[in-house]
A = this chain, B = another copy of it.
């Protein structure tokens, strides 16, 4: 059961002028599944993305990077589920390129103007023929109002589609941002991946998109973890159709850019947090904030050490205020000169540790009360600087083991 997450209300998903989506059943891995999504972009759209840092990245990730680097205007995205086209060597690269060629042929553009995305089973051969055969159906279904369908179309073992919108005003005109995401582990069982797509009609200079998508990813998708496994296929893409009739945003320092950035980050965080809420076997949504660090990097180190500790995660599953596990994780996070005698720990509003020792006033029943909640905030104070960082994670439950141990059987 997802943690405080429900399917998006279709009425709240706002079309983005210049962006149309179509979903169809191509039988990539199983019949009768809506497993092929095309997102078509009108002329003039600009696209930027961030991709997995996994060195064993999948073929479509490599092709996406090539096509974006080539600089030709992107006209379409093609996303299949059921097969990740990862661990497939040179043949996989060739098949990812064939997918782009097939779609480019149908819509009349160059293959470099198509970006491919694959999620699903690793180390299986991508059935390009079935994908190519499905493309006309996806194209026939293209509609600007199809965000909900696309959110469902990119799901693998997600239990719920993930989508949201924001509306802001720039230069007196309404501007829309709508996004979708998928994923329920950094890698799904043997399904790879987290994907996120956000489109806006904001009229923004194309060269500003890359820093913007990087900043949004760092504040959202790069702050979540379920099991610490970085997928071979992860991607977060920002599309600007640039259709909104306001003066072009040409600087990230402008007030308009700030408005856009805030909405983008808020939307990205909602989409990223939805992945954690739908995390494999998750029963709790946990925000971990480290403050008082010398820099953000060491705050992130400590936050991820806590977020990845199986011992911390099982304690949360059990609602057991076994908080020494959190201190131990901070201790091995890799902050070389950390002074344990300065450390504070709070669980929501409950003060647990000051100066590295348990507070005499701390009562286990207070910790227990917080641990039973479905939404929990951990705060660790390092008391050695003024930097801070927050990451979001979930607990580690029996269902996580069941899902991951039994998925393929």
With beta carbons under 8 angstroms apart, the residue of B228, B331, B355 that contacts A55 is B331
* A interface, over-half SS: loop
Q: Are B314 and A401 in contact (CB under 8 A)?
A: yes
Instruction: Please give, as numbers and ranges, the residues of chain B lying within 8 Å of A343 by CB-CB distance.
Output: 56
Tell me the complex Cα distance, A409–B364, Å: 12
Given A88-B357, A123-B358, A357-B91, A405 and B328 contact (CB-CB distance below 8 Å):
no
Is A253 among interface residues, defined by CB-CB distance under 8 A? no
Is A353 among interface residues, defined by CB-CB distance under 8 A? yes
Given A88-B358, A327-B56, A332-B54, A228 and B309 contact (CB-CB distance below 8 Å):
yes
Given A309-B229, A311-B185, A335 and B55 contact (CB-CB distance below 8 Å):
yes
Q: Are B315 and A405 in contact (CB under 8 A)?
A: yes
Is A181 among interface residues, defined by CB-CB distance under 8 A? no
With beta carbons under 8 angstroms apart, the residue of B52, B90, B229, B232 that contacts A357 is B90
Given A192-B328, A325-B190, A331-B55, A87 and B228 contact (CB-CB distance below 8 Å):
no
Would you give the 0/1 interface string for A370-409, flagging 1 where the beta carbon is closer than 8 Å to chain B? 0000000000000000000000000011101110111111
Q: Are B328 and A90 in contact (CB under 8 A)?
A: no
Stoichiometry (number of copies): 2
Instruction: Please give, as numbers and ranges, the residues of chain B lying within 8 Å of A314 by CB-CB distance.
Output: 400-401, 404-405
Tell me the complex Cα distance, A327–B317, Å: 29
Tell me the complex Cα distance, A317–B406, Å: 10
A127, chain B: closest CB distance, angstroms: 15
Among A55, A84, A86, A88, max chain B CB count under 10 A is at A55
Q: Are A356 and B311 in contact (CB under 8 A)?
A: no
Would you give the 0/1 interface string for A189-202, flagging 1 where the beta carbon is closer than 8 Å to chain B? 11010000000000
Instruction: Please give, as numbers and ranges, the residues of chain B lying within 8 Å of A229 by CB-CB distance.
Output: 309-311, 325, 328-329, 332
Q: Are B315 and A89 in contact (CB under 8 A)?
A: no
With beta carbons under 8 angstroms apart, the residue of B86, B320, B333 that contacts A324 is B86
Q: How large is the interface on A (under 10, 10 to 19, 20 to 34, 35 or more residues)?
A: 35 or more
B-contacting residues, A226-251, CB 8 Å:
227-232
Interface residues of A (CB under 8 A from B): 52-57, 84, 86-92, 121-123, 185, 187, 189-190, 192, 227-232, 308-311, 314-315, 317-318, 320, 322-325, 327-333, 335-341, 343, 353, 355-358, 396-398, 400-402, 404-409
Seed contacts A190-B324, A400-B401; 16 additional CB < 8 Å A-B pairs: A52-B332, A54-B328, A55-B335, A55-B339, A56-B338, A57-B331, A87-B327, A88-B357, A88-B358, A123-B358, A190-B315, A232-B328, A317-B401, A318-B406, A320-B407, A401-B401
